[in-house]
Amino acid sequence: MDARSELHHYNPYRVFSRSEWANLRQDTPMTLDLAEVSTLRSLHDRLDITEVEEIYLPMSRLLSIHVGAMQQLYYAQRRFLGVVERKMPYIIGVAGSVAVGKSTTARVLQALLARWSPRPKVDLITTDGFLHPNALLERAGLMQKKGFPESYDLPALLAFLSDIKSGRRKVRAPIYSHLTYDIVPNKFAVVDRPDILIVEGVNVLQTGRLPRDGKAVPVVSDFFDFSVYIDADEPVLRDWYIRRFLALRDTAFHDPRSYFHRYAPLSDEEATATAIAIWERTNLANLEDNILPTRPRATLILKKGADHVVDSVALRRL
């Protein structure tokens, strides 16, 4: 077999079955109890102690190795340069489709990593806060493309991450309301020099066009030290989105303040048809054009089955 043939068959990822991945936990301790696990689960996502033990504890062990290696490299380079600088935060990106369970993964990681010894400061930010306000999206004709790359205030998000990496104190991030489906005016989350920052969003692994003049054009993932992509087949994602929509119709949509309050009176058939239309018009297009193409850029890929349980794990080779 010649070199070109070998290259053709090269897989940049090591792929593990669920049982193989679970064995990599070794002696990593379980630091969450049943009550804590239940609070970390998103609507219609599945999370139990077994999932934490078999999927997230090995992830926690792997991340502890990566963070420790990065710290050693930092101190070695500092000695090489003969400078004294503050250690930069370690940033983890979490990407994937709408309804895939990104928020659950991000919250579980935050809870587990914050219990490492010594206790690091672990913050979590979602990119929803960097969406343009609805009024601006309406004027630009982008409401049907909310969640697409062009619907975000990318310069503000890049400036936020740059400030975090440079060690600035009390960096502010806008707050997004899923009830009103809009940015909350004059409300901010404050991130103050965390040891680890988790950044969750559908398009955090998105790249940009390469500049013709060779000048640097930063993208969000340039600031990541590690990234996770939550994956599932499209028909499964579609079903999860419909189920979530129906659950919200029976709960949050009944609040008069909800942006989707008009959907609360819909019958099951009407609500299902509405959810399918939204999925196909917006979420499926975003998945196919913008989200799924970024999957090969992730450090780690968690593949879920129809029951929300992770079936396999792919880890990028070093």
Residues annotated in the binding site for ATP, as ranges? 96-103
Burial of residue 49 (number of CB atoms within 10 Å: 0-12, 13-18, 19+): middle
- Residue ranges for the binding site? 96-103
Q: Which residues contact 194 (CB under 8 A, 6 or more apart)?
A: 89, 120, 121, 122, 123, 164
First to last CA, the chain: 24
**What is d(CA 146, CA 95) in angstroms, rounded to the nearest whole number?**
16
To the nearest 10 degrees (0 to 180), the angle between helices 268-278 and 234-249 is 130
Rounded to 5, what percent of the chain is helix, strand, coil? 45, 20, 35
Phi, psi of 310 (to 5 degrees): -70, 125
Q: How many other CB atoms sit within 10 Å of the CB of residue 318?
A: 7
- DSSP label of 88: P
**What is d(CA 199, CA 123) in angstroms, rounded to the nearest whole number?**
9
| Pair of tokens at residue 318 | 């070093």
What angle is formed at CA 162 by the lines to CA 159 and CA 165, rounded to 5 degrees?
155
DSSP 284-312: HHHIIIIIGGGGGG-SEEEEE-TTS-EEE
**What is d(CA 128, CA 198) in angstroms, rounded to the nearest whole number?**
13
**What is d(CA 9, CA 2) in angstroms, rounded to the nearest whole number?**
11
Strands 226-231 and 90-96, bridge-based pairing: parallel
